[in-house]
Homo-oligomer: A and B are copies of this chain.
Amino acid sequence: MILNNQDILSLSERYRAHFINSLSGYKSANLIGTKDLNGRENLSIVSSVFHLGANPPLMGVIFRPHSVRRDTLENILETETYTINHVNSLIWKEAHQTSARYNEGQSEFDETGLTPYYYADFEAPFVAQSQVKIGLKLRQHQTIELNKTVLVIGEIVHVEVDDNAVKEDGFVNLEQLDTVAVSGLDCYHTASKIDRLEYAKPDIPTTCKT
């Protein structure tokens, strides 16, 4: 099918949400752990975490417009501390379930059976079952005026990951850690490596690393 701008705008709201969400390709599946100022824990699945830079180590995440109750964003803005935890194939259903609208005061940890894990004096809860646990400090946030989404940028200040999955050059083997991917609004995937490729150079054929 071929759609132009008008075709897209005339799609039903729900169809368009599924369709456009699928178009960017595979997305990361992460759980964001926070606490509010009263110490109540919150956990929320997001597919909008992205790499922003390695030096300093920054990650971005997009939150939908600030119109409904969104504990995670508010907690991040108030406490400036949060965790990002990879979703794996043992907890993908529990992770998805955190997107249900629980009542205020209900913790998604309690409701889904995922286990909060704390490291030293880092204030925000990690997910014990996650194989990649990342602690961040808020560095910047801004509203994207085009659609009122909020871009939150954090600096990575803590990482926990199994030594065996980190290769000599720093590459982390996500398959070994069982990390899953998302497509669209609700489809979860495992991944299978095709190969790693050498840094590309003109006039040299593309070369596999293994």
A positions within 8 Å CB-CB of B: 1-5, 8-9, 11, 13-30, 47-60, 62, 64, 84, 86, 89, 92-94, 96-103, 106, 111, 119, 132, 134, 139-140, 144-147, 149, 151, 153, 155-163, 166-167, 169-172, 174-175, 179-181, 183-202, 204, 206, 209
Candidates B28, B159, B171, B186; contact of A26 at CB < 8 Å? B28
Give chain B nearest CB distance to A129 CB in angstroms.
Answer: 15
Q: Return chain B residues, CB-CB under 8 Å to A54.
A: 16-17, 19-21
Chain A interface main SS type? mixed
State the CA gap A9–B56 with chains docked (Å).
7
In the complex, the chain B residue whose C-beta lies closest to that of A17 is B54
Candidates B16, B48, B94; contact of A206 at CB < 8 Å? B94
Q: Return chain B residues, CB-CB under 8 Å to A147.
A: 52-53, 55-56, 58
B89 touches A62 (CB 8 A): no
In the complex, the chain B residue whose C-beta lies closest to that of A194 is B188
What are 29 A-B contacts defined by CB distance under 8 Å?
A1-B161, A5-B155, A5-B158, A8-B159, A11-B170, A16-B55, A17-B54, A18-B167, A18-B171, A19-B166, A22-B174, A23-B57, A23-B59, A23-B132, A25-B181, A26-B28, A26-B181, A27-B28, A48-B50, A58-B146, A98-B200, A100-B204, A102-B202, A111-B202, A144-B153, A174-B183, A188-B193, A189-B191, A191-B192
Q: Return chain B residues, CB-CB under 8 Å to A190.
A: 191-192, 194
Give chain B nearest CB distance to A135 CB in angstroms.
Answer: 9
Give chain B nearest CB distance to A83 CB in angstroms.
Answer: 12
